[in-house]
Amino acid sequence: QKEVEQNSGPLSVPEGAIASLNCTYSDRVSQSFFWYRQYSGKSPELIMSIYSNGDKEDGRFTAQLNKASQYVSLLIRDSQPSDSATYLCAVSAQGGSEKLVFGKGTKLTVNP
């Protein structure tokens, strides 16, 4: 059973701080990794994708991937109250499967 684990939180950070969200996965041959942001009552919105080991930066967001440790993280710099949401980690399963496996999500609250 392929699994994706996230700390459920809630994670609370002050405005302007760095928020760090973590995700581990069990399938060693997973290839594609995604971070989605979901506001309450809304659909998931893709904010980052990463496929290679290392860091990938997009504005205030940095995704980090370490395939040896089966670990992917999302850093949010200069956190804003508008970043308050649930962040879902998703991993593309290997072997021709057409599925994304989602973690249970981490609820982030950024306090003004």
Partner 1 sequence: DTEVTQTPKHLVMGMTNKKSLKCEQHMGHRAMYWYKQKAKKPPELMFVYSYEKLSINESVPSRFSPECPNSSLLNLHLHALQPEDSALYLCASTPEPLLAASTDTQYFGPGTRLTVL
Q: What residues line the site for partner 1 (CB under 8 A)? A: 29, 31-32, 34, 36, 41-46, 49, 51, 88, 90, 92-100, 102-105
Structure tokens at 13: 């950070």
Structure tokens at 43: 């659909």
Of the pair 60, 107, the CB lying nearest partner 1 is at 107
Of the pair 9, 60, the CB lying nearest partner 1 is at 9
**Residue 79 in 3-state DSSP?**
coil
CB of 16 to partner 1, least distance (A): 28
CB of 8 to partner 1, least distance (A): 9
Closest CA to 110 of 80, 75, 86, 71: 80
CB of 97 to partner 1, least distance (A): 7
Closest CA to 2 of 108, 111, 105, 95: 95
